[in-house]
Structure 1
């Protein structure tokens, strides 16, 4: 028997066609789960699911009717046992002139979307008396990311939503935790790392000495969703290679300045 086993479990991943989403599908599928990819574009969800032998459905996480329709599909499969809230968007810009439409669009997907999917799929877990939610937030939930509009406020909201869900649903058998990535190489961020000087400069900022991968995030999510983490609830694991611990090292100090 493997140390972590999801045989017989249905795992739903929002934003399933993206870099981290696909890694989540692969990781859970390899451990025996029936995986379901949800994505804004149905064809991309279906393609991602097909690649791993799972199911794929179109779902706009910011729209209640769309989420409920996806939940109906998954109810017919047996109902969700694990939800990975991974869908998100970025509409960057300085706060002094950020359009309210961009602010609201990000919160609608990144925060409201987590609530709507947690509510719909969480009800399936509550009816079973067991389940796990894993929300993908960001290092930006605790370290403000400038010129990124509502990104940091939204991710901070996700982290607190997870804690509230853990409190309310823990007695019902459903746990809720957060994975917060730092610097990660994905198809979306790949253009940044095409510049080798930028890549090297970023790597120097990370104590572990490398940029994170989607697999790093999936490995953490798999653990948090598993029975091995059955006493972990309402927590956030920052998966950043130690980047968030470097703040004081950037402050000038006599005798220790680079």
Structure 2
């Protein structure tokens, strides 16, 4: 399966109020491995950047002055993600901005969902770790992923980190490789042959002592007293004794 881990940086928090994309970063996964292919552009938003947003990503409007507009890279971007599964942390945020940019280009461009499917790692993390903080930084700490080089947010850097987070979150979901070469088990078989049934030590059987039996009986009596239908273990003992 081809997967694209995606992140964006923006001029502000609300696409509906005219905020725009200023950075777009994608990392490709093939068969759950980082392929080395990526898509990355800084974008001229043709508007100011909110001070709060700039404090997060450190990108200035002066830096973006000579960068391409989204319209200039849209076709290349859509060709890159087409047919893949997008992996995004808090997907609603990034998709809102991407769909708004596509809408500016005209109805023929449609929406991101027309080109690929989407997996939201925030929703996945909330299912895996309910009631806990599931920001990208929190997941890096929990999953022992080094993000010490992340002083400011950046779309490509965050996509690279998210790729590691996603692979760690879904580590048990990899497909079995039925076509892998058969391992050499001759050594294991020889070791097993040395432990024939006759050479193995007998299993140790441990019976409850008097104190443990008394504690068990006291517990059954307490359950029998508290339960309206009586203790189920008492009924099982009676059937077994009959």
TM-score by length of 1: 0.28
TM-score by length of 2: 0.29
Q: Specify the structure having the higher radius of gyration (Cα).
A: 2
